[in-house]
Structure 1
């Protein structure tokens, strides 16, 4: 910034005032907030940089060029600190430097006025060069923010997709997870990596059942079934609709007239077909009301789990109730349960069809009380609806209906997620939750503790336990198992395969067992974990960690992991972090606020995984949302504690209630650095991550809930299942933005996306029409989690001209 060019024009003061005022405001915020952060034991950078900016602003207000030079020194030291604190990772550096870059540009542009105000008779052109370089750096940074980049890039070569052999193509999608193995794999390749870019909407149907709320309210999370030339969907309010696979034309619908105060959803239907059942007739325009339905024959039947705890069998041909099932088509799951307050017990996941049994667990309203309905799992005859067996983890002696005057064990661990079934081993695999309530366990019995937060393998014929493994001991974090297990045969060292079960968890761990014996196929270590201090509670000294498989998104956070769009909100997140107790994934609850990362939403949640059977790649999507919680002494509990989602939960019957809040900045953005959600490919042969990419942009969300409208691929929380196909594609729609995407299964590269009218939490599925031979990809779009935009769309995509 030399001074050899004369300029006698009077100095303009407004550039000085703008630059100085903004530097002053930054300095005040960083200085005051930084002092508090330092008091909490955090970084001294913020208070020191704040003081430097304050002195710089005062000098510039006083028309002294030394103020600009001091600002430049603070900026240089900030760059050094940022690299030392965050490394060379893009998003953390943006958080620390971009706003300072804007301030630097303003100071550079103000330099001529400042120099003349300081008495210089001539101002050189150096400020123009500095300004141009700063502007260029800001533009490049802003442009790079729109460029997708893998977190872990694919490095190993993957063979070209194996064509589907004649006669081996998938013909139907009969189960929620594709099969009872939960693989979500389609042996179809008409739509492939080369032509997926040409996909277009083939038809759109409407359910007429728009979810009316978000969060713990109504949500469309359905994966449709395809049987022959008919598509079957269920809605959040327990309705079933049959559609033509080629046109989306409605053939019939059934209304169960179910009601619940919260958690209205239907993730999937069960389907059963008698041997030798005749071809399905085409029934169009039939609307079936359960109060006026005419029961009929059911050689093909759908099993509908309702949100008011009924199991209804209806004909897949015409939607009429199956007369021989239960009481005129209905089994009331409240039998043997005792008192059930409204909304405290319901069905949200698909029933499991295991040969001629239909098996159901149930969602129990967490955290209201120790005296909640049982988590019993029951198997019914798929034809008659008669109870075949019951598994009550709190009282294994009860294998049918409880004796007169008794109930199934109240408050026992439940199975709310989808189950898996291996017909060759005749084993059903139950992912269990923990006893209610979630955050206090001193009252739990040894029987309840034994099977809490575990994989439990039971004999399909009897319900007797064959083996089990507990993934969280004495669960005080709501780390129930949220997803359908994957049953898949993995290569072994002897050149053969082992029958594996893979289970993803909310805490970001992935366990692999021999599904016949329960022996770990990937190493598991019992490692020490932090201990709590609440009087009367007990704590497990160790927890199982699946060290033989990758962990996803569960690293112990440190202060430098905090993030924000600017240094200002990053500072606030650092203050919040230093105000919380955080000792890793198993930080125990206490009277002081404790950070749980991942939180009880995950990690991985109910969507489960998909797998490409030709490559052995398993695809896992996750969310990285922390929660902070603390216990509230009973006498201090607010009267309006609801137990729904976030906020205070009552936990009646224990000494404490509890408070849960998301770990977000004041702008409503997760406080830790991005990504906040990813898709990861794990090679099941090597048990290593093959690639990992951020999923989702801020186009339909943003700070304070304001849509940014920008396709910046920061990676947002995901919720919902994926779909893998034999053509090497991975389809996914469970993002915060409104898109159905297709990824290259070999590399994670996004190679196609279609804009949806609203977001989706549903699982994509695909089929080939038996009439036209055209392959379709189907997605339900009812609204993304936390988005106010809701819809009732079922959208089919296909290639043109097929």
Structure 2
């Protein structure tokens, strides 16, 4: 009888496994797929032609290897002194690296700017070089990536493949991709000083966090200029350098048309201080010899009364001639930007189909949740853009406002344009009522409500909407996938004589007002708007329509059960897409890497991470062992520390089992 029950049990188990479906045999064939620039391609998109991982087998993904950089700064590890004499505990590092795969080698940089090469099958470090950046002098400790160029070897027989990196302390480095040796023929022993021509400034006020763009034999570099400090910040100049010698070929100083550039006694340019900078990712179009710049807004971000038309190119996409740096066209997403609504993301190139015609196009997300679709040869919108009246009720002395702002008619906004007291949300009547009172006490006329001394509702806030990680773009399906964030804030300007410690971190020196920004949250510390506070959304680019939207992640790890089941916490990061119809993204506070179906938004798989993966993932198929890997940097994020995203130093790769 015991044998009978054993056989019966075995038969039932076999039947159950058969009914559930056996894992199908993995096909390791398909195209070999590199990832040669930050956005995978020169025009961005975070798209891989790899097809080995599919919707049918993605559930079998498992961790293949892990790399630990060892470079982490914890919150409060030291202090940073501001020009106004205030000292603040240092923010933790926020590692946002997307590595490259070139010549079957992974290349990247740590949060401390140490450059490295890894074996793509094992994560083993092949070489590293440390430029010795003094982290104690930096406010924002981060590196998003490196750039790759291949040509001929130099006179030493090295540097046929060059890896470039900008540093937090304002240098541009070139090393040999095979060995990590400095390319001695580039600049001075492999280094170019990006601070040349910028004038006097504190080190942390000018940093190169994002990789430069390669166009032929030129490397085009922008840099981050620190927000909210004073209106005499370093210039936002963009420069093109010869990849072999490091010699400057051209520069674009974002001054208004008709303004005469300043020269020093030697005839060298003195770049305009306080101008719009390009801190995010630059795109190029080799065929058309064009460079596309996403510009930030002009110092000091939230007060523009002293700009004197210096924000002519602020918060725009600017197209330059790649050979000369001359303006071809520019399209401004925000007029006289006093909300820090930088153009935050890489201008992403695609082919637009209309009535049988193919138009070279560009998709530009914004912090307002507006997705502008433009003809990349002319800058003309592909769908109508309307100049609509916006709030004019600012009582801030010395400020002026643009009477209208541009609104795309398609796609529809990816972020709500208004949040009123009637929209207040809470777990209980008590905290909902508190949120309602807070919202009712703010100056609030919807999107583009100007800053005020009373306190304005800042929604969307300057964190997004969309930010630097978006968009991923599937060119086969012409679908753009973007992650969005919905966290309201209070924006308040305080007359200089009344400024207190609360505004010391945002002094806006040189203007009549300091700044205070704080999230609008209930007494329980929860945002006062209804969740989700973070989503993933797909847009049909040809039709300008939203295909689907889904909450991204849950409150796991930051709230107790059952509150932890609420979907859609705040997120930071970005997606990547594959030819097999998958979208990979981490970004959420619940510390998972996820896979979604690009066409439907269905969540197909997730894997836990040791801390927040607030970078954009990448994927490649290694030529050495024919396996496709999905790689994410899990390093936390300084802007997400309030949600428990502590700094760390992991790169983790996933692959299908052997």
Q: TM-score, normalised by structure 1?
A: 0.73
SS in 1 for 2:605: strand
Matched, 1:346 2:207: yes
SS in 1 for 2:437: helix
Matched, 1:325 2:186: yes
Report which of the two has the higher share of helix. Answer: 1
Matched, 1:685 2:542: yes
Instruction: Assess if the C-alpha contact under 8 Å between 1:402 and 1:408 holds in 2.
Output: no
Matched, 1:611 2:450: no
1:728 and 1:713 map into 2 onto residues whose CA distance is: 27
Question: 1:578-597 counterparts in 2 under 5 A?
Answer: 578-597=440-459
Cα 1:333/1:470, change in 2 over 3 Å: same
Instruction: Assess if the C-alpha contact under 8 Å between 1:392 and 1:398 holds in 2.
Output: no
2:150 to 262, 270, 273: 273
Instruction: Assess if the C-alpha contact under 8 Å between 1:207 and 1:241 holds in 2.
Output: no
State the match for 1:248 in structure 2.
Answer: 123
Question: 1:156-235 counterparts in 2 under 5 A?
Answer: 169-213=31-75, 217-235=92-110
SS in 2 for 1:575: helix
How far the C-alpha of 1:400 sits from its partner, in A, is 11
Instruction: Assess if the C-alpha contact under 8 Å between 2:503 and 2:515 holds in 1.
Output: no
State the match for 1:486 in structure 2.
Answer: 348
1:379 to 240, 243, 252: 240
1:768 and 1:403 map into 2 onto residues whose CA distance is: 54
Matched, 1:564 2:417: no
Question: 1:707-722 counterparts in 2 under 5 A?
Answer: 712-722=565-575
5+ residue gaps in structure 2?
Answer: 1-26, 77-89
2:281 and 2:261 map into 1 onto residues whose CA distance is: 21
1:212 and 1:398 map into 2 onto residues whose CA distance is: 45
Matched, 1:419 2:282: yes
State the match for 2:554 in structure 1.
Answer: 697
Cα 1:639/1:667, change in 2 over 3 Å: closer
State the match for 2:608 in structure 1.
Answer: 755
1:378 and 1:608 map into 2 onto residues whose CA distance is: 24
How many equivalent pairs are there? 609
Cα 1:621/1:775, change in 2 over 3 Å: same
Q: TM-score, normalised by structure 2?
A: 0.89
CA shift digits 1:88-135 (9 cap, x unpaired): xxxxxxxxxxxxxxxxxxxxxxxxxxxxxxxxxxxxxxxxxxxxxxxx
State the match for 2:358 in structure 1.
Answer: 497
Question: 1:631-650 counterparts in 2 under 5 A?
Answer: 631-638=493-500, 641-643=503-505, 649-650=506-507
Matched, 1:793 2:650: yes
State the match for 1:513 in structure 2.
Answer: 374
Instruction: Assess if the C-alpha contact under 8 Å between 1:698 and 1:709 holds in 2.
Output: no
CA shift digits 1:708-742 (9 cap, x unpaired): 58752420112112110011100001111110000
Which 4+ residue blocks in structure 1 deviate beyond 6 angstroms? Answer: 395-401
State the match for 1:439 in structure 2.
Answer: 302
How far the C-alpha of 1:639 sits from its partner, in A, is 5.8
SS in 1 for 2:431: helix
CA shift digits 1:342-362 (9 cap, x unpaired): 311111111111111111111
Instruction: Assess if the C-alpha contact under 8 Å between 1:767 and 1:775 holds in 2.
Output: yes
State the match for 1:767 in structure 2.
Answer: 620
Instruction: Assess if the C-alpha contact under 8 Å between 2:282 and 2:294 holds in 1.
Output: yes
Matched, 1:742 2:605: no
Which has more radius of gyration?
1
Instruction: Assess if the C-alpha contact under 8 Å between 1:432 and 1:451 holds in 2.
Output: yes
CA shift digits 1:302-352 (9 cap, x unpaired): 111111111100111111111011110001111000001131111111111
Cα 1:640/1:718, change in 2 over 3 Å: closer
Instruction: Assess if the C-alpha contact under 8 Å between 2:33 and 2:48 holds in 1.
Output: no
State the match for 1:408 in structure 2.
Answer: 271
1:642 and 1:709 map into 2 onto residues whose CA distance is: 38
Instruction: Assess if the C-alpha contact under 8 Å between 1:389 and 1:400 holds in 2.
Output: no
Instruction: Assess if the C-alpha contact under 8 Å between 2:283 and 2:292 holds in 1.
Output: yes
2:262 and 2:67 map into 1 onto residues whose CA distance is: 42
How far the C-alpha of 1:438 sits from its partner, in A, is 0.9
Instruction: Assess if the C-alpha contact under 8 Å between 2:261 and 2:269 holds in 1.
Output: no
State the match for 2:529 in structure 1.
Answer: 672
1:296 and 1:241 map into 2 onto residues whose CA distance is: 21
2:260 and 2:196 map into 1 onto residues whose CA distance is: 14
Report which of the two has the higher share of strand. Answer: 2
2:407 to 542, 545, 551: 545
State the match for 2:223 in structure 1.
Answer: 362
SS in 1 for 2:311: helix
Cα 1:227/1:713, change in 2 over 3 Å: farther
Instruction: Assess if the C-alpha contact under 8 Å between 1:379 and 1:387 holds in 2.
Output: yes
State the match for 1:655 in structure 2.
Answer: 512
CA shift digits 1:19-63 (9 cap, x unpaired): xxxxxxxxxxxxxxxxxxxxxxxxxxxxxxxxxxxxxxxxxxxxx
CA shift digits 1:282-311 (9 cap, x unpaired): xxxxxxxxxxxxx97211011111111111
2:629 and 2:595 map into 1 onto residues whose CA distance is: 14
SS in 1 for 2:312: helix
How far the C-alpha of 1:398 sits from its partner, in A, is 7.6
State the match for 1:144 in structure 2.
Answer: none
SS in 2 for 1:611: strand
Instruction: Assess if the C-alpha contact under 8 Å between 1:391 and 1:398 holds in 2.
Output: no
2:411 and 2:265 map into 1 onto residues whose CA distance is: 44
How far the C-alpha of 1:431 sits from its partner, in A, is 0.7
5+ residue gaps in structure 1?
Answer: 1-163, 279-294, 644-648
SS in 2 for 1:635: helix
SS in 2 for 1:668: coil
How far the C-alpha of 1:608 sits from its partner, in A, is 1.8
How far the C-alpha of 1:770 sits from its partner, in A, is 0.9
State the match for 1:300 in structure 2.
Answer: 161
